Amino acid sequence: MPTSDPSTIHDLPTPALVVERSVFEANLAAMDAVLPGPRLRPHVKAFKSTALAARLAADGHTSFCCATPKEVEGMVAAGLGDDLLLANESLDVARLGALADRANITVAVDSDVTLDAAIAGGIRSVLIDVEVGLPRCGCDPADAGRLAERARAAGLDVRGVMGYEGHLMMVLDRDEKERKVERSMSLLVAAAADVGGDVISGGGTGTFDLNTWCTEIQAGSYTLLDTDYAKLGLPFEIALNVLSTVVSVSPKGWIVADAGLKSMGMDHGNPSWEGGDVFIMSDEHVTLVPGDERPIGSWSVGDRVRLQSAHVDPTVAKHEQMWVVDGDDVVDRWPVDLRHW
């Protein structure tokens, strides 16, 4: 960490993303216990940071999943290009084909058009993306074999299939989730038989330990977590907070801090605050109503609060860096260097 960076949490400019190192490390250990090494293909879209990715690679997770061409490019630039999967359809893949001599890049395709783009763009390896119940990308399972054949005829390495059961991540009942994941993955396994190759890629933080059909799991949110995933009773805890400074205290009973909705992913709703209720989110403010434990009269301008976001991926994507802390000490700075497209 550059010596010009703040050394204590009290000196961080706010709003700031703060990662509790001990919680983060415990999350990594909990995941490694179930999915060691290549059984996990960490999804960088959740944290968009090559510094965090390098920490995972040090634990033996050297194959990564990306959602955008920009994420792939950044991982290659950071020397993390052993096995990168663009787990998403894109027509803008020639920029990745141009990196084929420097990294091992695989791209998902689900149609003739995306396959043509991969061929024309100099992509060497593909996975056939199969729709397994989430209304998003992925071909009809019955079409997977045909696409694989076309890809091989064009000289591409078809490594296997991927299919994301994203619609099942937040199913609360474990038995119900297991049944539904099995049904969803049966489509993928059948398509894998048609496609060939040895990769069956899918899953996520919400199904990491019960999706036993995939050869590798695409999880990323487990590293930092959020209040939405925290509802599932997984062996992961919230490691990421948005640190904020109180800039106004009203005798009417609220305090205002400087973490607004521009610092927070809002698609899953407001962040949470352990000290009371989140009343209003504005662009650059949050209005908080303190609970009984610490009444309004004890709050001062300059106090700091920590908010927990409801969705970690878009929250991280709004910031330039994460600050890693151990108690009050700032021990590292992770640039969020994989943002944009």
Given the rule CB under 8 A, which residues bind its own copies? 13-15, 45, 67-68, 88-92, 110-111, 113-114, 131, 135-138, 140, 166, 245, 247-252, 254, 256, 258, 261-263, 265-267, 279-285, 287, 300-302, 313-314, 317-320, 340-341
CB nearer its own copies, residue 21 or residue 339 = 339
Angle between helices 50-58 and 69-77 (to 10 degrees): 60
CB nearer its own copies, residue 203 or residue 265 = 265
CB nearer its own copies, residue 25 or residue 284 = 284
In whole angstroms, the minimum distance from the beta carbon of 214 to its own copies comes to 19
CB nearer its own copies, residue 235 or residue 279 = 279
- Whether the CB-CB separation of 307 and 272 falls below 8 Å is answered with yes
- SS3 for 111-158 is CHHHHHHHHHCCCCEEEEEECCCCCCCCECHHHHHHHHHHHHHCCCEE
CB nearer its own copies, residue 3 or residue 252 = 252
Angle between helices 144-153 and 112-120 (to 10 degrees): 20
In whole angstroms, the minimum distance from the beta carbon of 60 to its own copies comes to 26
CA–CA distance from 283 to each of 257, 267, 320, 341 (Å)? 11, 14, 17, 23
- Indicate the SS3 state at residue 305: strand
70 contacts: CB under 8 Å, gap ≥ 6 = 338, 339, 340, 341
In whole angstroms, the minimum distance from the beta carbon of 107 to its own copies comes to 12
In whole angstroms, the minimum distance from the beta carbon of 166 to its own copies comes to 7
Q: For the chain, first and last CA: distance in Å?
A: 27
CB nearer its own copies, residue 233 or residue 251 = 251
Nearest Cα to 21, choosing from 11, 29, 10, 13? 29
In whole angstroms, the minimum distance from the beta carbon of 25 to its own copies comes to 25
In whole angstroms, the minimum distance from the beta carbon of 139 to its own copies comes to 8
* Alpha carbon distance 175, 171 (integer Å): 10
